[in-house]
Every structure is written in structure tokens, then in C-alpha cells.
Structure 1
Amino acid sequence: MRMTVFGTGYLGATHAACMAELGHEVLGVDVDEAKIEALSEGRVPFFEPGLPELLKKNLDSGRLSFTTDYEKAAEFGNVHFIGVGTPQRKGSYAADTRYVESVVNELVPRLEGQHLILGKSTVPVGTAARLQEIADRITAQENKATVEVAWNPEFLREGHAVKDTLSPDRIVLGVRAKDSEAEDTVREVYEKPLAAGSPFLVMDLPTSELVKVSANAFLATKISFINAVSEVCEATGADVTALADAIGMDERIGRKFLGAGLGFGGGCLPKDIRAFMARAGELGADQALTFLREVDAINMRRREKTVELARQALGGSLIGRNVTVLGAAFKPNSDDVRDSPALSVAGALSLAGAAVTVYDPEAMENAAKVFPTLSYAEDVEQALSQAELVILATEWKVFQELDPEITKQQVAGIAPKRETDVNGQGQTPQPVIIDGRNCLPRSTWEAAGWKVLALGRGNTLKT
């Protein structure tokens, strides 16, 4: 099958390469010439494990190509995916859908014959119907094409996007009528994953649009729930990780997404829950989602708490103190720093007067664009060399596997800050690490001489 994918950012580039891997002929389309040039040369402009190899393989096979030419795209195939961004609108919680609308406005006048447009972007409910109205108006004027708009939302997890596309845990299709021909076409598109057992759910357009934002809202709520409980744990000296293990054994609850810590970030969850609230308000159902405001607020408070924990660990003041933040991406296996809790904490520490050094295995370049005034180390050892306080803010495997004994030697930069004991002898302060993700083997680190502080584990503040 021949198909186009409009938008070659994270979603679009991944979808285009994976559709080619499934055996289709795919043309990726974008107005950004730099993106198209990079992808055409086999360079992925972001970090996603497995995608560079998939891109090169399918470019070499001839099944995948890229262009900025809408005329070429209109002639290429009869199935068109929309994977452009829907960022938060400036001055509002609402999603900005103008890029999605632009694709329809630019593409449809160029079409001839019968075509299917499949939306993958996360959009406010009602968007698909509006796009169908736009397409119908254009085709009525041009009288050259018949266009159906259907919705096929994405459920990608950054760091696992290739697997999630090739072997999805569900395929959702929203159609405007029961007699829609879109189902047969989409079954052909996803023939291989369907044959491998991926569930296929067909529903109306509004329901399909609500699936993704509802899923993200639920995940955000679950994360913020355990972080709200962690605030109570901090006040009582309880251990939120042990608590999460216990309640997670209830099969109705489950342990996933009950990791207390710095909370969620990225380009999806924060934006999507805010857009969901905004759309509910437009529909007159604003009271139904008011709880999401507190979900958002809890999430942001965890960042503030981490900065306050750092201030306490350094004796009440951050001014002039050397702090190392391990992590800049919002999650491991990604270079995405959009609304990153790690980078937010690093920036807040710097604004409070600390000398902040950041290291991340993949996100350094993107982080430097957002916070150019921070210091960025070339490796973990350099990042730790002058640290008086270490904060693990993104749970990269390389950070979780640090040897506490070796790491203690690498933070020898704390030595110039020696304090004098009552006998007048120099005394090296105990090294301190804030485990912002509750992912370190705490007992191992404490046995190596570290003081380990962590969100939701109030007893760690005791000496």
C-alpha cells in the first residue's frame, strides 16, 4: 500500500519508518526543509532507540522517502496520516490545532479520486468532525475528490516508540458512520500486527479522540496520586516506596506508575491534561475534570520540594554551592526536555544561586538550548568532580548502576568545604545524594557512607 505521513517530528518520523517496515511504500511530508534533508540522509533529529537503524534500512530498500512537496504527496497514495504537533495554545490551556487544519487545507484541494485521511495527532474532541467539514467544503468546490476523515490515535511511549508502532497493544479507529470503508483500509495497513494479535477497536469519532487524552489523564492522575501520598509520608516519616509496593499488589491498582518522585513531564501528559480541561470547559462539562487541576498542581509541587530538599541538605542556602543534576531529559531513553522535571529543578537551583552542573546521556544539546546558562559536563565523572550535592533527576540506567564507592571518590570536590570539628581537626562532610526518582538501592548507598534523601521518605531527613 502507498501512503503519506504528514509531519516528521517524533510521531510522524517514527510512524513513517514503521509503516515502511511493515511493507508499505511511505512518503513523509513536512514543511521543515532541514528535517526532510536530515531524514532523507538517514539522520534522525531526535533520540529514539532502534529508529535510526529502521530509517536507514527502509531508505535503502526504497520503501521510504521524504519531501516538502504537497503536490507530490497528493499524487503518491490514497491514504494520508496526519502526525503534526498540537502544542498548548499561548495564553490558554487549549490545544492549538492549526497545524492539523493546515494539512487538510493544503492537501485536499490537490487530491483526485477517493482518499482516506487518518488523524494520529492528539486533538480536542470534535476536531475530526471539523476537519471533515473542511474537507467536504473543499471537495464540493473542486469536485475532484471524495475524502473521508477518520481517527487512528497514537499510543507511543518515548523510548519504546518503535515497538509500540510495530506491535501495538491496541489499534483504535474512529469513523463517522457504520458504513465507512475506512475499517477495511486500516485493517490492510495494520495487517501484520493484527495477525500477531493486536486488538482492533472500531468506534465513533468523538470516542476515538477521547481515548488518548483520557489515557494520559488517568496516568497523570495515578502518578500525582502517589506523589500526593508521598507528601503525607514526608510529614509522618513513612516510606512511600514500601507503601507503593504494598498497594500495588492489589490487582485493581497495580504497581506501574506508582513511582513517587519528581513527577511527569514531556510533550504529552502536561499539555494533554490541560487541553482536556480546556475542552471540557468549552463543552460545558468543566466540573467533570476540575480534579485535573490538582493533579497538575501536585506534579509541579514535587519540583519545588526537590529544590527545598536541596536547600536543606546544604544548610539552608544554595548561594554559591556546587550542585550536580544527573539527568535533563524528562524520562530515560529520550532526549526530550519539554517540560522536563529534571531541567526545571536544575534551572530553579541556578536561579536560587547554586552553581549547577548537568549531565545527561542524550539530552545535553536540547537542554543547553533551554538553559544555556547552566554548566554541562562531558561525562558523569566530570559532572561529579566538584559536587557538594548530587541530585538524580532522570532514572537513566547508567545512573541507577553507579557504584556508590567509586562515586564517593569522584565527588572529592567536597573536600575544600571541610568543616572543623571540636578538636580542631579537618572533617570531610558526608556525601549527599537526593534520589529524585526513588530508583537507587538505598541501603547499598548508605552502607557506602552516603546520606540518601528522597521524596516521600521522610525518615531520610534524620541524621
Structure 2
Amino acid sequence: MISTDIKNICCIGAGYVGGPTMAVIADRCPSIQVNVVDLNENRIKDWNDSDLSKLPVYEPGLDDVVARARGRNLHFTTNIEESIANADMVFISVNTPTKIKGVGAGQASDLRWVEACARQVAQCSRGNTIVVEKSTLPVRTAEVIKSILSSPQRDNRNSGELKTFEVLSNPEFLAEGTAIVDLENPDRILIGGESESAVEALANIYLQWVPNEKILRTSLWSSELAKLTANAFLAQRISSINSVSALCEATGADVREVANAIGTDSRIGSKFLDSGPGFGGSCFKKDILNLAYLCRYFGLPEVAEYWENVVKLNNWQQARIAQLVVQKLFGTVATKKIAILGFAFKADTNDTRESPAIMIAKDLLEEGAEIAIYDPKVNNEQIKKCLALAENKEDLSQAYKTQDAMNSEGKWSYKNDVVSAISGADAIIILTEWNEFKSLNWESLAPLMRHPAWVFDARAVADKTAIRCAGLNIWRVGDGSK
């Protein structure tokens, strides 16, 4: 019999979702012991570091939450088997990347880690256990988990009784950069399940700080599909406004004025109408492609094509920005220095997964540019992995430019601040909306650049008038004014 009184939680996966989510649960539910487990020893070490600035996930407010709960009822460990064995409830919060080969390659989710977790839970758990899908999963993934868990498993430490399991879907709806706020004051909590007692056991945890009216109880399949659909709709709005931004630039309109006008319509609303270099992060592209794959699998090719076009438009926007840089710099960026300000996919996070900066940087490197990259929260090792290129600090702008150099692939280097990034640069591209970039002193920065110099503001956060007064040319996304 499943108990609704949860005393011990185990979360498999100490990443962007598992770590912050469990930290908030532990903070708000001091009577529950919360163990976050992971195979990555370095990640667990960082979660346990006394220096809270070294947490593996950067989120405003996360350090305070961890400081309050860690060591009291929040624990980070690599002792997976024991943590599962002691748990009344196990959250599966592991990566579900897009498959790169095999059936569904390029669209379907790779569920190998979810399956591995289910098998480990089946083996190590004791008695009655509630298993919660926290990872973003395709519809009916719960069937896979239930099939593994329903295989006869006996608890040798409990008189040989058969173990019992209930599976719930509890997708996260976090926006990176505001994850702690989203967790502490969520728009909704979605719980899908077939067992009322299991659903209420999880609901009772959230009820410690979330009003009951915000807790939505659905079937398993509706819960799984709702997560994919929510991300698809949000990404669709970004691609839609970015398509309009290109039209604004061509016609003389300003996309911010257009967005404000349509955003005041209560049927549309103002959120996710900020034009920029496109969406990034771990979920949007992956979830849309997975949704498209499911549509094709169930015989809905027209629906699949509709959602695929959202991703195509996003890729086009990033390629368009890179092409604009080349065009404005007299048709070539070979051996020219370009400063990229911001590499995280959005402000207030150190996450670079699917960041627009990756594609834009790679396109410019292919054109032979020398790129200097600065981001206040992303380090050079992380950038190196994203670009899959070794850092090269040779300064081509100062080197003797042979014909071979002019024809070679570009180079990149990591910089520790804005000044070193833009010194000697022909152009600046603002790709992340960090507050630091909103108040730059253009009068003092302009003399450091090689003129005629450009600022490409892909986030529309810089002071356009100040940039022009400093003698710099400016392109701002969605701004058709001359």
C-alpha cells in the first residue's frame, strides 16, 4: 500500500532540474530527508563545496536555498543504491538528449538513462515506492518505466515480499535564470498519475508552500504531453516574433513597437515577444523535434512539418545575424576581430546548451574571423566544448596577414572582461542580455575599436543613441529605422 506520508526522497540526477528542485523541496519541507544522487563525482563535489559560488548550476538565489538546507535534510551523494533503498519516493531527473543515430535520429529522445534509472530503482528499492518522472519525456514513456518496474521483484530485506511501484509524471516548468522564483512561486504544479494515493502523496509535498488551486491533477499521458506542448508553444512565439523582426528591418518598422501593440491584446499577451538571436537551452529544440517525431509516428506528417518549421525559423534567424555581420563588414570578416559579448543562451544562467552564440560563432569562424568571447558566467572550458575547437590566442589583427592566413579558418579566444574582448575589434555582437551589457560606457569603449566599427545588438539592450554618438555604427534586431 502506497503511503501518502513521504519521509525520504531520492532524486537521480544532480543537474539543472534535479539540483534546484530538490533544494527548494528540502528548504520548504524540513521534515523530509532529500538525497540528490549522481554518478558524476565532480558534480557532487561541487554541490557539497563550502564555497557556494562553485555550485555547478548558477541560478539567482540558489546559493541561499542550498545554504539553508544542505547538511540538515538536503544531501548530495554518489551513494545511489543506498539512497534509492531508503526512499519512499524516487525522482528521475536525468538527461534525455535527442538521438544522434538509429531509429528517430535527430528527433526522438534517447531514453537510455531513463531506462537505466528504472532498472536501478527496481533492483534497489524496498517495499512500496513512488517513481516520479521529472525529466522531459515523450508521451507514454511511463509505460516503459512501468513495464520495467512491474517485472517480479522481491525485497529480500523485507521478508521476501513483492515490491510495489506507482509511476507519476511531474514535469518541470522552470525558466533558467528565474528557476528559484519559479519553484517557490510556480504558475502551476502538474501531477499525472493513475493512483490517487500516489498523486496525493506528491501533492502533499507541494502543498507545504503551493496553494491547492495551483496543483493540477491529470492522467499520465496528458501530463507528459503538456510539457512538450508548453515548450513548443513558447518556442513558437519566439520564432514568430523573430520572423516579424526581419520584416520590420525591411520595412522601417520597429519590432518592439509592434510587439507592444500586439502584446496589449489580452488574447495574445506580452510574454515571449522579445525578438533576439533565437531560442536556446536544453528543452525547446529537443522537445519540438520530439513532438514532431511523435506526430509522424502517429501518422500526422502535416502536424510534424508545422512544428519542424519553428526550429527551421530559429536556425534561420541565427544564420541571418551571422550573414549580416559579414555583409556590414564589407563582405568579409577574414582576419577581422569580432567581440562576442555573452555566450550563455540567456541572462542569469551559465547554461550554454543550444545557445544561439554557438551557431553564430561557428558561422563567423568558418568565414575566417578572429573571435574574442566574454561572458560573466561561462568559462573558456565550457566554450571550448561548445565550439569543439581548441582556444587559439594568437592575435590575427596584429599578426602579419599572409594569403594563407586570409584563407584559413578563424580563431577564437576567451577574455575576462569587456575591455579586453573589444580592444582592436572591428565589431561587437551582443548575444546575451546580461545587465552588464545594458550600461556600457560607449564613449570610452569606442576608441578601443578599429574604425569604421559596428555594434550588432541582437538583444536590443544597448543604448542606440549613445552608440551612435560615440561614432559607432549600429544594427539592432528588428529595428528598421535609419
Name the structure 2 match of 1:425.
Answer: none
Kindly tell me: are residues 106 and 132 of structure 1, through their superposed partners in 2, closer, same or farther at Cα, counting changes over 3 Å?
A: same
Name the structure 2 match of 1:16.
Answer: 22
Does the alignment pair 1:380 with 2:394?
no
**3-state DSSP of counterpart to 1:363:** coil
Match of 1:435 among 457, 461, 464: 457
Query: How far does residue 390 in structure 1 lie from its aligned partner after superposition?
Result: 0.8
The answer on whether the counterparts of 2:192 and 2:199 sit within 8 Å (CA) in structure 1 is no
Query: How far does residue 204 in structure 1 lie from its aligned partner after superposition?
Result: 0.3
CA distance in 1, matches of 2:261, 2:278: 20
* Number of residue pairs aligned between Structure 1 and Structure 2: 440
Query: How far does residue 286 in structure 1 lie from its aligned partner after superposition?
Result: 3.3
Structure 1 letter corresponding to 2:63: P
The answer on whether the counterparts of 2:292 and 2:304 sit within 8 Å (CA) in structure 1 is yes
The answer on whether the counterparts of 1:151 and 1:205 sit within 8 Å (CA) in structure 2 is yes
The answer on whether the counterparts of 1:48 and 1:158 sit within 8 Å (CA) in structure 2 is yes
Match of 2:233 among 204, 212, 218: 218
CA distance in 2, matches of 1:73, 1:176: 25
**3-state DSSP of counterpart to 2:65:** helix
Structure 2 letter corresponding to 1:109: Q
Match of 1:28 among 24, 30, 36: 36
Structure 1 letter corresponding to 2:272: F
The answer on whether the counterparts of 2:374 and 2:418 sit within 8 Å (CA) in structure 1 is yes
Q: Give per-residue Cα distances to partners, 1:103-162, cap 9 Å, x unaligned.
A: 110111222221111111100000012211221124489853110001111011111112
Name the structure 2 match of 1:189.
Answer: 205
CA distance in 1, matches of 2:213, 2:238: 27
Name the structure 2 match of 1:331.
Answer: 346
Query: How far does residue 285 in structure 1 lie from its aligned partner after superposition?
Result: 2.7
Name the structure 2 match of 1:50.
Answer: 61
Match of 1:402 among 440, 444, 447: 440
Query: How far does residue 364 in structure 1 lie from its aligned partner after superposition?
Result: 2.4
Name the structure 2 match of 1:109.
Answer: 123
Q: Give per-residue Cα distances to partners, 1:256-310, cap 9 Å, x unaligned.
A: 2111221101111111111111122222233223211111111011111111111
CA distance in 1, matches of 2:154, 2:74: 33
The answer on whether the counterparts of 2:122 and 2:148 sit within 8 Å (CA) in structure 1 is no
Name the structure 2 match of 1:353.
Answer: 368
Structure 1 letter corresponding to 2:187: D
Kindly tell me: are residues 140 and 127 of structure 1, through their superposed partners in 2, closer, same or farther at Cα, counting changes over 3 Å?
A: farther
Match of 1:88 among 88, 98, 108: 98
The answer on whether the counterparts of 1:241 and 1:438 sit within 8 Å (CA) in structure 2 is no
Does the alignment pair 1:445 with 2:467?
yes
Query: How far does residue 248 in structure 1 lie from its aligned partner after superposition?
Result: 1.4
Kindly tell me: are residues 138 and 351 of structure 1, through their superposed partners in 2, closer, same or farther at Cα, counting changes over 3 Å?
A: farther
Between stretches 155-164 and 212-221, larger displacement belongs to 155-164
CA distance in 1, matches of 2:358, 2:342: 8
**3-state DSSP of counterpart to 2:83:** helix
Kindly tell me: are residues 257 and 390 of structure 1, through their superposed partners in 2, closer, same or farther at Cα, counting changes over 3 Å?
A: same
Does the alignment pair 1:170 with 2:206?
no
Name the structure 1 match of 2:384.
Answer: 368
CA distance in 2, matches of 1:233, 1:437: 15
Name the structure 2 match of 1:75.
Answer: 85
Structure 1 letter corresponding to 2:70: L
CA distance in 2, matches of 1:9, 1:244: 34
CA distance in 2, matches of 1:71, 1:339: 33
State how 1:291-310 maps to structure 2 within 5 Å: 291-310=306-325
Name the structure 2 match of 1:132.
Answer: 146
**3-state DSSP of counterpart to 1:193:** coil
The answer on whether the counterparts of 2:86 and 2:126 sit within 8 Å (CA) in structure 1 is no
Query: How far does residue 198 in structure 1 lie from its aligned partner after superposition?
Result: 6.2
State how 1:143-182 maps to structure 2 within 5 Å: 143-177=161-195, 180-182=196-198
CA distance in 1, matches of 2:386, 2:125: 40
The answer on whether the counterparts of 1:318 and 1:349 sit within 8 Å (CA) in structure 2 is yes
Q: Percent identity?
A: 34
Match of 1:320 among 327, 330, 335: 335
Match of 2:476 among 443, 446, 454: 454
The answer on whether the counterparts of 2:35 and 2:75 sit within 8 Å (CA) in structure 1 is yes
Q: Give per-residue Cα distances to partners, 1:312-353, cap 9 Å, x unaligned.
A: 221111111111111111111111111111232122212211
Does the alignment pair 1:100 with 2:100?
no
Name the structure 1 match of 2:76.
Answer: 66
The answer on whether the counterparts of 2:365 and 2:371 sit within 8 Å (CA) in structure 1 is yes
CA distance in 2, matches of 1:335, 1:29: 21
CA distance in 2, matches of 1:36, 1:125: 31
The answer on whether the counterparts of 2:455 and 2:474 sit within 8 Å (CA) in structure 1 is yes
Name the structure 2 match of 1:41.
Answer: 49
Could you say what the CA RMSD is over the residues aligned between the two structures, in angstroms? 1.9
Structure 1 letter corresponding to 2:356: P
Query: How far does residue 165 in structure 1 lie from its aligned partner after superposition?
Result: 1.7
The answer on whether the counterparts of 2:256 and 2:274 sit within 8 Å (CA) in structure 1 is yes
CA distance in 1, matches of 2:76, 2:341: 36
Structure 1 letter corresponding to 2:455: I
**3-state DSSP of counterpart to 2:166:** strand
Name the structure 2 match of 1:420.
Answer: none
CA distance in 1, matches of 2:416, 2:77: 36
Structure 1 letter corresponding to 2:46: A
Structure 1, unaligned stretches of length 5 or more?
415-428
CA distance in 2, matches of 1:74, 1:387: 54
Match of 2:449 among 413, 419, 424: 413
Name the structure 2 match of 1:123.
Answer: 137
Structure 2, unaligned stretches of length 5 or more?
1-6, 392-411
Q: Give per-residue Cα distances to partners, 1:27-63, cap 9 Å, x unaligned.
A: 1111222222322335422322222332233224x21
Query: How far does residue 75 in structure 1 lie from its aligned partner after superposition?
Result: 2.8
CA distance in 1, matches of 2:268, 2:328: 34
Q: How high is the TM-score relative to the length of structure 2?
A: 0.87
